[in-house]
Structure 1
């Protein structure tokens, strides 16, 4: 949507007869902008003069009762996008009458306290003489960008998880063959573990569907397929209930760590052991989980972070609001996960909602 501003002396005689209908037109236009949640701006890049409506001022964190300059408008844009937006507006003005530009960028506000995605459409004014002003609209597209990121992560996780499933199946068959004395024993052991793996994935689906699960249930279901003997994997800790979102995140963390232990860690060795212990510390308001692998030669830290490491960090830090650390000792790996108790029953990670508007005001 584009709005053109002309000085009265520049308007064509045929257009001057429309002044009677302008109040109605402006009222209708503002109703359309409010209904579509669209902000309006108008600027002269050369002089720095800038007009922003209240919707933009709220999004940008600009004062509602003070003049705004072009530089202030640009200053609230993310530093990685700031020059790109400034140059786009200036170049649009320099291209002359009828020039049009569409752009997507991030804003962080005047104090850098939040980040939102914005889509801008701008064009130079239509009229005689050189183009001086650029007018445009803005729309908050943060929810669309968040959904695109979520879909991208789902695709990456699906691809990564399928690879992990085949890796786990291969490792489980190898471990079962190491302990089986007859083909029948191999078939039985492999079948049991594949069924346990299927139960783990069913649990993951249940957590998405909204079921409340205990931490021990989540860990036991993920790790049961890996327990070649009663002492291979041990769990210890008090009963801790998890909401659907934390249960999903904990399941993903346990699956990723277990897959790594089976492929590269202690569970890839006959004498390897895994002990998972957790405790709630009310004084600090934190759940601490310690994942300790022993019975292997010293494992060096990976040279670079892969998707698995990124997934662990995403689940622990973003989804659960906690932290995860890795210590590569001479006797094995120690992973420590801390999560605020208040987040154990929480839903998805918070994404700030756009401003609520009533009658054109925030």
Structure 2
């Protein structure tokens, strides 16, 4: 059911107002009655009226004067006004009425069908105008919402581009017009010159010469196929610095499927490239270290098996040596696999025997840091020497002493290495006899340091204790 509109009836005679109401009731609209011009103005200010019927002859203000006052108000400039006149009106009167805003005349006596037809036209016109105005308001509301959504989307996109550190560019394939963002210029180390617009050729010239042919070939290929463009390349900044870039772009196509424009982004991936290269190096280093560790464990197991008299002896010896290896590895891990000091490795091995008294140990040498593989070898060597000293050597008796000294030689070899000299000497221990067969400790020590070129070890079994000397190449930082 359509919404009812309001019709204002203005006449100073109640009988005529009643007759108009009777005639117009058939329209099923809301009828408002005013007995004077002032009353009519009050009703107009409080209501939205579709059409006004005004009696031309009224005592206070005639219909012409009321129409003029109505038209002066902005709200009623387009409201339909129909004059009802019981007197004969001249053409000049009609002209005056039209000039004052009247849109039609109805003579008296009123023909009901004619009056209803005229009023119906204006009510329908008003209703259509309202519908059109509402539709326009709704359209404006939707446009405003969509505009706001687009603005928010553009703001989010701009923020995402800024956060992702993306440089953007556009290419009109038909005209060759090229536009690039300020972010892209900054990324490539160039300053935009308003007098010299950016061109595709300028962008291609910053690509590393070794990568440029493949980048151009991929551009041509995707231009023919319409596929999205993606390529990783190097770019050279004006200061000579080389950066890695990742470029992505897509094409707009016409009705025939031919590309008409290209929109793309470029991202600086130099840090990611360096991180990937560093990760690859770390993986290779990890593989190398794990392989070395497994080789060491295998050697310990084989030598322990050869010298063990039973499974319990093998288990105890093997476990203690693995623990020693683990201590050195822990120190390396704590130091992020950087070099660690010789004194720290030696102190870690002797810490378990601090209750014997500090006077029984003498550690003398400068601060020397060891690379990881040398640290592992010396850690195992110190473990074997310490274990032997506790079981059979100077640390097995109350008056025995241990002196460990180390120092670097003054000269370098052909590879730029110094020689690290280490001397392990036990005093005051039980009488030592040279073994008749090669034991595990001696075999391990020789096996550990044979892998180091130019290394040299001597093991002398002095009467009061073992005398172990090592000379091994040491590489400075």
TM-score (norm 1): 0.49
Ranked by relative contact order (alpha carbons within 8 Å, sequence separation 6 or more), the top structure is 1
State TM-score, norm by structure 2. 0.39
Computing the radius of gyration from Cα coordinates, the structure with the larger value is 2
